[in-house]
Amino acid sequence: MYLSRDRQGAVTTYERAVPMSNLMSGAKMLLECLVREGVDCIFGYPGGVTLPLYDALYDHPLRHVLVRHEQNAAFAAEGYARATGRVGVCCATSGPGSTNLVTGLVNAMMDSIPLVALTGQVHSKLIGSDAFQEADTFGISRSCTKHNYLVKSINDLPGIIHEAFYIAATGRPGPVLVDIPKDVFQAQGHYAPVSSIHLPGYKVYTEGHTGQIRRAAQMIWEAQRPFVYAGGGIISSGASEELRQFVEFVDAPTVCTLMGLGALPSRHPNFISMPGMHGSYAANMGMSHCDLLIALGVRFDDRVTGRLSAFAAHAKVIHVDIDPAEIGKNRVPDLPIVGDARRVLGKIVKVLQKLAPAEAPRNAAPRKAWWRQIRAWQQEHPLLPAVSSSEIKPQHLVTEIDRISNGRAVVTSDVGQHQMWACQFIRFDEPRLWISSGGLGSMGFGLPAAVGAQLARPDKLVFALVGDGGFQMSIPELATIASQGLPIKIVIMNNGYLGMVRQWQELFYNNRLSGVELECFPDVEKLGAAYGIPGRVIQRPEELSPALNAAVREPGPYLLSVKVSPFENVYPMVPSGAAVSEMVLGPPQPVAVPK
Ligand SMILES: Cc1ncc(C[n+]2csc(CCOP(=O)(O)OP(=O)(O)O)c2C)c(N)n1
């Protein structure tokens, strides 16, 4: 093995390769590299220039999962990576195969997902000649990858592949693309052992500056209204345990972003909810009124901050992030710490403990009052799911998934209203259970991501919660699910509309519904039957719980379409351009902001 991993599966060091040198084709060499990186499964779709690779795969033990669209190869690899913390691998042929990967690459870039994308390229001699299925994959992927390569010689192949894995997995994780011309796959060469990686321009700072860490601990003790804003960086760095210890020691109210859900168990007493556009009243009021915002592995995304100038306006900010480019990008922190969240949090707790005897009593009373205020906000406007006896409310559907999951199932989602309700009402006791397209917000993510997650975690119950819009973007993957025998429970929240867009048209465009009605939706019983997957439609509230139980009892995949109230809106909602404290709590009046 080349990489050593910590207990969360994150790569920590790069180890010496087992020396080996024998003659083989580029295609076989690539597979050798993948095996040595610990890859057990790749998601792909073949084509002309990758024929040598697929020939090498023919009698190779590495599992290749044939998806039905290259975008879904990337999404499935991302689902695999998100569920495990390991690098996901996808592959595609040149031209349309590689251009179909682009959405997946951007998604991985936005959500910091470790991904290695392997693409075939036309013969080196033909590059630049507008050859059949030639696309400038290197140029196209430049802006949507952490790094990318065009392999020019078989001699460079092993070094590049091992570098690609190293870059994808270390620091802030992300996608790395390796474009391999057909002649490189076909060439014969000696596998040169790679004993170390030297990338002079690539530095990863994990430890955090000792002085800054000391200063952070001081600021934390000085705060009267501390508030923790934790994100996907906690999950990437495997810092959940350190976050729990930190939050308990400081006794700070804590929100987890969409990317960070599960970083702190949802049932933890300090966990408030997700913040931001569809966050809870207490989460957004807490962010708005704290005097110290401790931002951990987050990027001050506009969906969280609302109007930036009004965000946490009275707070000092400590920002911990492994990516120096995130520091001050949106909000200039009072104290930046560049480092790995796990390492930095562990160190901050140690300094806090040392200072505790002298510092802890100082703000004990205001901190109690702060908690009283947080609890009052929670009681004033709790997040409560709507339920009706005449129709299935979408919130009712997600709470039923929550009941079955009980904090332990993997839930993937698409993008839209169902995604936001899932964030509000489905609890996650651990990291890596909630897998959703955050930064890019890409519909069509949920189903292929579930493919990757279920392959990575065969022990887990996996729900793919999708909208009726997003589902129709990923229907081809039913074939992958059926052929791989993956027991994914596909739950379609069927409201007959592109719900989230319809909600915005209702609220901000005078209810002039334009291009959002999904007039035609397939009969899922027949659709499922066409793939050999049991399918059912339900629409009465009393059917919901038994139907979900039956889906889970089914040993294989299940397709359940749940007809929900079509005109339900997601609240609270921070209108675009508003401050997060200016939430609309529900039909129809805005809420006065307490001083
Ligand atoms: C690929 C892509 N195209 C368009 C959008 C814009 N968009 C965001 S939410 C949404 C509606 C999604 O509808 P549906 O899948 O039915 O989910 P719902 O909102 O009803 O839960 C759309 C079109 C998107 N996020 N992704």
What whole-number distance in Å separates Cα of residue 474 and Cα of residue 492?
A: 12
Q: What is the mean pLDDT of residues 447-456?
A: 98
pLDDT at 586: 84
Q: Which two tokens stand for residue 24?
A: 């083989």
What whole-number distance in Å separates Cα of residue 319 and Cα of residue 308?
A: 16
How sure is the predictor about 534, in pLDDT bands with cuts at 50, 70 and 90?
Answer: very high
pLDDT at 13 exceeding the cut of 80: no
* Model confidence pLDDT, tens digit, residues 490-526: 999 999 999 999 999 999 999 999 999 999 999 999 9
How sure is the predictor about 22, in pLDDT bands with cuts at 50, 70 and 90?
Answer: confident
pLDDT at 52: 98
Measure 516 CA to ligand 1 centroid, in angstroms. Answer: 9
Nearest CA among 504, 493, 1, 583 for reference residue 280: 583
Location of each CATH 3.40.50.1220 domain in the chain: 210-380
How sure is the predictor about 192, in pLDDT bands with cuts at 50, 70 and 90?
Answer: confident
Q: Which two tokens stand for residue 466?
A: 């999708």
CATH class of domain segment(s) 22-191: alpha beta
* Helix (H/G/I), strand (E/B), else coil: 442: coil
Bridge partners (DSSP) of residue 42 are 64
Q: Is 222 a catalytic residue?
A: no
Contact 594, 588 (CB under 8 A): no
What whole-number distance in Å separates Cα of residue 365 and Cα of residue 520?
A: 60
Q: How far is CA 572 from CA 175, 281, 284, 308, 587, in A?
A: 34, 7, 10, 19, 10
Task: Give the strand pairing for 434-435 and 462-467.
Answer: unpaired
pLDDT at 196: 87
Mean pLDDT over each residue of the chain, to the nearest integer: 94
pLDDT at 90: 98
pLDDT at 11 exceeding the cut of 60: no
pLDDT at 499: 98
* Dihedral pair phi/psi, residue 367, rounded to 5°: -70, -35
* C-alpha gyration radius of the chain: 25
Q: Tell me, what DSSP letter sits at residue 373? A: H
Contact 558, 564 (CB under 8 A): no
What whole-number distance in Å separates Cα of residue 504 and Cα of residue 516?
A: 11
Which helix (H) or strand (E) is 464 found in, with range?
strand 462-467
* Helix (H/G/I), strand (E/B), else coil: 470: helix
Which helix (H) or strand (E) is 177 found in, with range?
strand 175-181
Max CA distance (Å), the chain: 74
pLDDT at 16: 39
How sure is the predictor about 18, in pLDDT bands with cuts at 50, 70 and 90?
Answer: very low
What whole-number distance in Å separates Cα of residue 471 and Cα of residue 340?
A: 36
pLDDT at 20: 52
| CA 254 to chain CA mean position, Å | 19
More confident residue, 402 or 586: 402
What whole-number distance in Å separates Cα of residue 321 and Cα of residue 296?
A: 6
Q: Is 583 a catalytic residue?
A: no
* Helix (H/G/I), strand (E/B), else coil: 571: coil
How sure is the predictor about 269, in pLDDT bands with cuts at 50, 70 and 90?
Answer: very high
Measure 415 CA to ligand 1 centroid, in angstroms. Answer: 5
Q: Is the pTM of this model over 0.85?
A: yes
Q: Is 182 a catalytic residue?
A: yes
Q: Is 379 a catalytic residue?
A: no
Measuring from each residue's beta carbon to the nearest atom of ligand 1, which residues come in under 6 Å?
414-418, 441-444, 467-470, 493, 495, 497-501
Measure 277 CA to ligand 1 centroid, in angstroms. Answer: 16
What whole-number distance in Å separates Cα of residue 336 and Cα of residue 212?
A: 7
pLDDT at 67: 98
Could you write out the DSSP letters of every residue in 249-287? HHT--EEE-GGGTTSS-TTSTTB----STT--HHHHHHH
Location of each CATH 3.40.50.970 domain in the chain: 22-191, 394-576
What whole-number distance in Å separates Cα of residue 25 and Cα of residue 56?
A: 9
* Model confidence pLDDT, tens digit, residues 65-83: 999 999 999 999 999 999 9
For ligand 1, mutation pick of 421, 443, 465, 521 (most atoms within 8 Å of CB): 443
- Ligand 1, atom 13: closest residue by C-alpha: 498
First and final C-alpha spacing in the chain = 58
Q: What is the mean pLDDT of residues 192-213?
A: 92
pLDDT at 204 exceeding the cut of 90: yes
Contact 449, 103 (CB under 8 A): no
pLDDT at 509: 97
Q: What is the mean pLDDT of residues 413-419?
A: 98
* CATH no., domain 394-576: 3.40.50.970
- Ligand 1, atom 3: closest residue by C-alpha: 443
For 479, counting Cβ atoms within 10 Å of its Cβ (0-12 exposed, 13-18 middle, 19+ buried), the class is middle
How sure is the predictor about 194, in pLDDT bands with cuts at 50, 70 and 90?
Answer: confident
Which helix (H) or strand (E) is 116 found in, with range?
strand 115-121
What whole-number distance in Å separates Cα of residue 128 and Cα of residue 181?
A: 12
* Model confidence pLDDT, tens digit, residues 157-183: 999 999 999 999 999 999 999 999 999
> Ligand 1: which atom is nearest the Cα of residue 415?
9
* Model confidence pLDDT, tens digit, residues 349-394: 999 999 999 998 999 999 999 999 999 999 999 999 998 999 999 9
Q: What is the mean pLDDT of residues 440-459?
A: 98
Among the listed residues 219, 493, 500, 583, the single catalytic one is 500
Q: Is 400 a catalytic residue?
A: no
Q: What percent of the chain has pLDDT over 70?
A: 95
pLDDT at 2: 42
Q: What is the mean pLDDT of residues 322-332?
A: 97
What whole-number distance in Å separates Cα of residue 145 and Cα of residue 129?
A: 25
pLDDT at 5: 43
| CA 498 to chain CA mean position, Å | 22
* Model confidence pLDDT, tens digit, residues 218-255: 999 999 999 999 999 999 999 999 999 999 999 999 99
> Ligand 1: which atom is nearest the Cα of residue 499?
20
What whole-number distance in Å separates Cα of residue 165 and Cα of residue 169?
A: 6
Measure 51 CA to ligand 1 centroid, in angstroms. Answer: 36
Q: What is the mean pLDDT of residues 547-572?
A: 98
More confident residue, 4 or 210: 210
Nearest CA among 509, 514, 500 for reference residue 566: 500
- Ligand 1, atom 11: closest residue by C-alpha: 498
The correct CATH number of 210-380 out of 3.20.20.70, 1.10.8.100, 3.40.50.1220, 3.30.310.160 is 3.40.50.1220
